[in-house]
Amino acid sequence: MRNPSDLSDPKGPQWFEETVRDFTALGATGPLAFAVAVVLGYLTLAYRRKTALIVLLAEVGGIGFNQLLKGYFARPRPQLVPQKVYVLGESFPSGHSMMAAITYLTLAALLVSEDSPMRHRLYLLGCALLLIMLIGLSRVYLGVHWPTDVLAGWAAGAGWATAWWLIARRVGAR
């Protein structure tokens, strides 16, 4: 995905590279924390404290789980091309991919209820999945992750979000 004569230059026009950076930012700690804080505030104001607690535990636990996996595998980041964004920590699994899956799948599950029409549920799930895919693919395009890092992040994040969705259903959180 790089210009063969200049490995610091990703393929595609400048606007595309900027758009990819924008999408990768949506999987970063700041935007994810802001989205979760907004939802937690809303759930608290709506007296849905049980649901807010589930979201908080899913997010904080997901961060810990991601760090545990990164520490265990301790895989270095790719050094094949100059990286186009600042990166920190190990490569496997992709934290952006994993935390985006945890956050956006959890929030999509919150936005629909069981009595929502199927097309509403599919639309929100589809939007969440598209955003998660774009974030993960952006990490590979920018040269900061191997494709397997992203795949592992998606799988771990989706598994974590699904587990917390099942817990929420079990304890009756809406």
- The set of catalytic residues is 96, 145
The residues pairing with 6 across neighbouring beta strands, listed in sequence order, are 3
CA distance 99 to 103: 6
* In contact, 113 and 153? CB cutoff 8 Å: no
CA distance 17 to 15: 5
Grouping H, G, I as helix, E, B as strand and the rest as coil, residue 73 is helix
Backbone angles phi, psi at 10, to 5 degrees: -65, 150
Who's near 29: CB < 8 A, 6+ residues apart?
99
Provide the token pair at 96: 């952006």
Backbone angles phi, psi at 116, to 5 degrees: -70, 145
DSSP 93: S
Q: Which helix (H) or strand (E) holds 99?
A: helix 95-111
